[in-house]
Every structure is written in structure tokens, then in C-alpha cells.
């Protein structure tokens, strides 16, 4: 799930209209036709059976010594206590959070800059946009294999030819630098989705606002900071929240580039969790997954709260 799916933003909830019309038709308090439930319940049941129920069972097992089969007994919170002192777990969180933070900043700055440029008066705008969006439709694992070749062979070859020391060895084999390759490829893949959302936000800003502010003598940078940025805050928010969520769950790109190595230098939380399936520490990794879920939700909430009230509506 590395495709960063863009989302409707809370610019205009538009809820009132729908509810008013259906109240007028159905009348409040009257029982709805049963068929409405037949429309909704399949989705609810499938979601419950395949996602919510397994999640609940998994969280339950995180309080036990279950190994994935056979008998189990309650352990209370000791799995969770063990997590807090496990260097392998702590390293994976350190790597994943750092990687997500760097990637989201890089991807959003580049996506916004490209979107601003694309919505100016330029030549060949549709073709340029069409090319820039291509990475969005490509498979993360395959893209990572291609870049694996480039980082391992092509980049060192070029570096050697021009005599640039630091890149003469493959950065994928360097425990301190391998994460940069993952940042680059993850950003490369997720910039297009963010770019399209920003393009939508930017085209919705009326030209009059820019004309008025330039009459007031605002510089281009001031225009961007005082007109553009406040009006697209909602889009920045949704891009950032979904971007961070995606990067926190990173797996495909890492598998294709470094497989978590060298050593465990680029082991993401997702990779550690999956090791619970083969490593016999199912319950322990479910405790890890539960913490991971709480961390993911908490980070999303922090982002939502931090930007609340900053968004300006037209």
C-alpha cells in the first residue's frame, strides 16, 4: 500500500445539503426501508470480519504467550514491558520515525514547488504533468529493484568517473547512508499523488487574490506565504497525514532496496512485526503491532490538532 491515495479535503463538508433533501423525502423518525440496510451491511460485515475482528484477536493475543499455534496463557503486560527494553524494536522505531519525518518534509516541499510551477503559465503543461505523475502508477517493489541497480552500479560508476569519493561505494551497503536511498525512492514514488492534490488546491485559488496582493506591492514570496499557503493548508494537512501514515508502514521499497540491511540498519517497524510470523514470537510482535497502531494514530491526531484553525476557507 505504498500508493499515496489522495483524499477529499475538508474544504466544504457539504453534509447539510444531503441531509436536508433526504429528511424532506423520508421524514425524520420514520423507519427507513430495509433495503438501505441491505446496501450498507455487506460492507460493514466484510470490514468487520476481515479487518476489525482479526485486529481485536491480535490485540488479545498480545497479552499472552501465544506463539501462533497451540496452547497459550496470560502474561499481562510483560510483552509490552519487554518491548521497551528491546534494542531491535527501539532501533526499528527510531529508523521508521526518522525516515518518515525526513521523507514527508522532502516529498511535500518538492510536490508543492512542482505544483506551484505547474499551475503558472508555462509551455507543455499537460505533458509535463503527465510525465511527473508516472511514478504514482508503478509498483513500489519493481521501482525499488530498478533503483537498487542504479544505486549499486550506476551511481558508483559515475562517482568514480568524476572522482567524487563519498559515492564511489554503493550507499546501499553503508549502514549510515542506506536510509537515504530509501528516502529518495519513497519520495520519488509518493510525490505525484501529493502534487496532484496541491495542483487541485492551487487552481481553486482565484486569480483576483493574487492581483489584489500584487497591487498592494506584495513580493512573490510574500504572496506565496500570505495568500497561497493559508488557502492550501487543508491540502497540506491531508497530504502530510496520509504521507506519514504511508511512510510509517513502509515495506515494499525497503525490501527492494536493502531488505532491512546492512545488518538491521534499515529495518522498519513493519518488517520487525512480520518477523513474528516466522520467528515464533507472535504474541510479542502483536504487542509491537498494537503499540505501532497507537503511535500511528497519535501522530495523525497530533498533526490534525497542530494545524486546526490554521486553514482558511474561501
Partner 1 sequence: MTALEGRTATGGRRPTGRSWTLTVLLGLACLTVLVPLYVTVSMALKTTGQAVDGNAFSLPAPFDPSGFAEAWTLTRFPVSFGISLAVAVIAVGLTLLLSSLAAYAIVRNWERRFFRWSLVYLLAALFLPFPVVALPQIQLTALVGLDGPVGVGILHAMFQLAFSVLLFSAYLRSVPIELEESARIDGASTWQIFWRVVVPLLGPMIATVGIFAFLASWNDFMMPSLITADPALQTLPVVQNIFQSQFGTSYNVAFASYLMAMAPTIVVYLFAQRWVISGVTQGAVKA
Give, as ranges, the residues between 45 and 74 that touch partner 1 (CB under 8 A): 46-47, 50-51, 53-55, 57-58, 61, 68
Cβ proximity to partner 1, 121 vs 308, nearer residue: 121
Q: Convert residues 167-186 into a mask of x (bound to partner 1 by CB under 8 A) and - (unbound).
A: --------------------
40 touching partner 1, by CB under 8 A: yes
Whether the CB-CB separation of 181 and 258 falls below 8 Å is answered with yes
Please count the residues of this chain forming the interface with partner 1, following the rule CB under 8 A: 125
Decide whether 179 or 194 has the Cβ nearer to partner 1: 194
Taking the least distance from each CB to partner 1, the nearer of 80 and 176 is 80
Among 108, 190, 255, 260, binds partner 1 (CB under 8 A): 255
Distance (Å, whole) CA 104 – CA 246: 10
**Based on CB atoms, which residue is closest to partner 1, 12 or 94?**
12
CB of residue 102 vs partner 1: minimum separation in angstroms? Answer: 17
Report the site for partner 1 in 188-217 (rule: CB under 8 A): 188, 193, 196-197, 199-201, 203-204, 207, 210-211, 214
Which three cell numbers mark 298?
Answer: 497519535
Q: Which cell numbers hold the place of 27?
A: 421524514
Q: Determine how many CB atoms are found less than 10 A away from the CB of residue 176.
A: 9
Residue 85 β-bridge partners: none
Among 77, 109, 302, 306, binds partner 1 (CB under 8 A): 109
Show the cell assigned to 208. Answer: 483576483
Using the rule CB under 8 A, which residue among 63, 248, 260, 267 binds partner 1? 248
Which residue in 81, 101, 146, 312 binds partner 1 (CB under 8 A)?
Answer: 146
Stretch that binds partner 1, among 70-78, 80-88, 174-182, 296-304 (CB under 8 A): 296-304
Closest to 80 (Cα-Cα) out of 72, 70, 93, 89: 89
Binding status of residue 290 toward partner 1 by CB under 8 A: yes
Residue 314: other Cβ atoms inside 10 A: 9
Cα–Cα–Cα angle for 184, 190, 196, rounded to 5 degrees: 135
Smallest distance from partner 1 to CB 99, Å: 14
Q: Which of 140, 163, 169 is nearest to 262 (CA)?
A: 169
Task: Identify the sign of the CA torsion 17, 18, 21, 23.
Answer: negative
- In the complex with partner 1, which residue's Cβ is closer, 28 or 176? 28
**CB contact at 8 A, 250 and 271:** no
* CB closer to partner 1, 12 vs 310: 12
**Residue 220 near residue 288 (C-beta atoms within 8 A):** no
List 95, 170, 178, 276, residue binding partner 1 (CB under 8 A):
276
Distance CA 220, CA 35 (A): 56
- Closest to partner 1 by CB, 22 vs 230, is 22
Q: Given the C-alpha cell 510479542, which residue does it identify? A: 284
Amino acid at each position: 500500500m505504498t500508493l499515496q491515495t489522495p483524499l477529499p479535503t475538508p474544504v466544504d463538508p457539504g453534509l447539510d445539503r444531503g441531509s436536508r433533501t433526504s429528511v424532506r423525502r423520508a421524514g425524520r423518525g420514520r423507519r427507513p426501508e430495509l433495503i438501505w440496510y441491505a446496501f450498507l451491511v455487506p460492507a460493514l460485515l466484510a470490514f468487520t470480519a476481515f479487518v476489525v475482528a482479526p485486529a481485536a484477536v491480535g490485540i488479545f493475543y498480545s497479552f499472552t504467550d501465544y506463539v501462533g499455534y497451540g496452547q497459550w496463557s496470560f502474561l499481562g503486560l510483560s510483552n509490552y514491558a519487554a518491548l521497551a527494553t528491546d534494542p531491535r524494536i527501539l532501533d526499528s522505531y527510531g529508523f521508521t520515525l526518522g525516515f518518515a519525518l525526513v521523507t514527508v518534509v522532502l516529498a511535500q516541499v518538492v510536490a508543492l514547488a512542482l505544483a506551484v510551477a505547474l499551475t503558472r503559465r508555462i509551455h507543455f503543461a499537460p505533458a509535463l504533468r503527465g510525465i511527473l505523475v508516472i511514478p504514482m502508477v508503478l509498483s513500489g517493489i519493481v521501482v525499488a529493484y530498478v533503483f537498487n541497480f542504479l544505486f549499486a552500479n550506476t551511481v558508483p560508476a559515475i562517482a568514480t568517473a568524476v572522482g567524487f569519493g563519498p559515492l564511489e561505494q554503493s550507499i546501499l551497503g553503508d549502514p549510515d547512508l542506506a536510509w537515504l536511498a530509501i528516502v529518495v525512492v519513497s519520495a520519488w514514488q509518493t510525490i505525484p499523488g501529493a502534487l496532484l492534490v496541491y495542483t487541485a488546491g492551487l487552481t481553486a485559488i482565484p486569480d483576483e487574490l493574487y492581483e489584489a496582493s500584487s497591487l498592494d506591492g506584495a513580493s512573490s514570496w510574500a504572496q506565496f506565504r500570505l495568500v497561497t499557503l493559508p488557502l492550501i493548508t487543508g491540502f497540506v494537512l491531508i497530504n502530510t497525514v496520509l504521507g506519514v501514515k504511508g511512510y510509517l508502514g513502509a515495506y515494499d521499497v525497503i525490501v527492494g532496496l536493502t531488505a532491512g540491511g546492512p545488518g538491521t540498519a534499515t529495518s522498519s517497524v513493519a518488517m520487525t512485526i512480520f518477523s513474528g510470523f516466522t520467528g515464533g514470537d507472535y504474541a510479542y510482535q502483536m504487542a509491537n503491532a498494537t503499540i505501532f497502531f497507537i503511535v500511528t494514530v497519535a501522530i495523525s491526531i497530533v498533526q490534525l490538532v497542530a494545524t486546526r484553525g490554521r486553514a482558511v476557507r474561501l
